[in-house]
Amino acid sequence: MKIFRNKPLLILLAVVMAAALTGCGGGGGGEKAPSGDSAKKITVKFSHVVAETTPKGQAAIKFKEELEKSGQFEVQLFPSSQLYGDKEELEALKANNVQLIAPSVTKLVGFVPAFQLVDMPFLFASDQAAYNFYDGPKGQELMNSLEPQGMLGLGWWPNGSKHFTNSKKPLKKPEDFKGLKFRTQSGGVLDEQFKSLGAGSQTIAFGEVYQALNNKTVDGQENTFNNIDTQKYAEVQKYMTISAHGRLDYVVLTNTTFWNSLNDEQKKLFTDAMNTASQLERQMADELNAKSFETLKNSGKMEIYTLTEEDRQAFIKALQPVYDKYTEAIGKDYIEAARNSK
Ligand code: LMR
């Protein structure tokens, strides 16, 4: 009872506590969640360019579910380039207009060229070798390399191997590429890859690729089974070559402005939710790519060719100039670690 005697002090205390409680909703611009909750939640905008039925799309949903369990965050998901395309999402992240993106690492070439590692032809021995590289010291080092740019890596979300598609002809040997033009995600390694095969290339944002294939701005592209399937490229690409010549993987990024606005408990909630989502993402990558391959095969829309070991060796030889030109820019240490990963 004694405590109620000092009423002004009690009121002051209540005001201070209320201010402290609402004040902790700082990150993501500190917007109030439109949930009707009286307590402010931290708004986290997560923008990405793919469909929700992809490994990345599914993992983003999982992350939202996990993080929102805490009652402290509201995660808003913007799939399929709804909010930002490839280039814009990187700028938006740096400006803290979004708090999470998960770009294909190739698209980080402008910040850290070593991310083009995934595009080095036939580098990783298997999916597991790639996962082990990402989880190992060199993978961590690579992820951390974005920090001076105000970006913080929170997890690797691998998608899988890339395969070629095109609208002109079956691609079985390196010489079959001559005179064709391919869409690339970004970066000199991919340009060099196509140049070594006698083909041209053009960087096109993911959200515009279907249209570019449809109106023949480019003849072909390279992607995972799941992206080829969910983007309906089979409608505009008659041929697919199962080549697994490179990888398409993501790194989940936040910005340091947002991250530094979180307290230790909130950072832990974030990291825990991310770890759960990352586990699901790998499982989804395996499952959804396998499922999409079956869908593409069974649709009968594409003529599918799988490289033989002899073809593969011919491609490795034809693509050697990519290593000659880019090993130094990427870093011999990264390439060796990736090659030796089991
Ligand atoms: C692409 O541009 O082809 C991919 O990086 C898209 C994605 O995010 O999977």
Q: In this structure, are residues 124 and 247 in contact, taking their beta carbons and an 8 Å threshold? A: yes
Mutation pick for ligand 1 pocket among 230, 248, 289 (CB with most ligand atoms within 8 Å): 248
CA 325 – CA 83 distance, rounded (Å): 36
Q: In this structure, are residues 228 and 234 in contact, taking their beta carbons and an 8 Å threshold? A: yes
Per-residue pLDDT band for 24 (boundaries 50, 70, 90) equals: very low
Look at residue 20 and tell me whether its pLDDT is greater than 50: no
For residue 65, report the distance from its CA to the centre of ligand 1, in Å. 24
Cβ(50) – ligand 1 distance below 6 Å: yes
For residue 1, report the distance from its CA to the centre of ligand 1, in Å. 64
Superfamily of domain 38-339 in the CATH hierarchy: Bacterial extracellular solute-binding protein, family 7 (3.40.190.170)
pLDDT of residue 39: 72
**String of b and e for 115-143 (b: at least 16 CB within 10 Å)?**
bbbbbbbbbbeebebbbbbbeeebbeebb
Write the pLDDT tens digit of every residue in 190-239.
999 999 999 999 999 999 999 999 999 999 999 999 999 999 999 999 99
Cβ(227) – ligand 1 distance below 6 Å: yes
Q: Ligand 1, residue 48: give the atom nearest the CA.
A: 8
Per-residue pLDDT band for 13 (boundaries 50, 70, 90) equals: very low
Per-residue pLDDT band for 37 (boundaries 50, 70, 90) equals: low
Mutation pick for ligand 1 pocket among 223, 230, 232 (CB with most ligand atoms within 8 Å): 223
Cβ(182) – ligand 1 distance below 6 Å: no
- Give the residue from 330, 326, 225, 285 showing the smallest Cα distance to 102: 285
Three-state DSSP class for residue 163: strand
Look at residue 310 and tell me whether its pLDDT is greater than 50: yes
User: For residue 84, what are its two tokens?
Assistant: 């930002």
Look at residue 100 and tell me whether its pLDDT is greater than 70: yes
* Protein residue with least CA distance to atom 6, ligand 1: 206
pLDDT of residue 179: 98
Least reliable range by pLDDT among 15-19, 91-95, 168-172, 254-258 = 15-19
What's the mean pLDDT in 69-92?
Answer: 96
Cβ(230) – ligand 1 distance below 6 Å: no
Cβ(277) – ligand 1 distance below 6 Å: no
The residue whose two tokens read 């699901």 is 280
Cβ(206) – ligand 1 distance below 6 Å: yes
What's the mean pLDDT in 275-288?
Answer: 98
What's the mean pLDDT in 8-32?
Answer: 41
Q: In sequence order, which residues have a C-beta less than 8 Å from that of residue 102 and are 6 or more positions away?
A: 46, 48, 56, 59, 60, 157, 250, 251, 252, 253
* Protein residue with least CA distance to atom 3, ligand 1: 206
Mutation pick for ligand 1 pocket among 49, 100, 164, 281 (CB with most ligand atoms within 8 Å): 49
Q: Ligand 1, residue 221: give the atom nearest the CA.
A: 3
CA 208 – CA 315 distance, rounded (Å): 28
Per-residue pLDDT band for 2 (boundaries 50, 70, 90) equals: very low
What's the mean pLDDT in 278-300?
Answer: 98
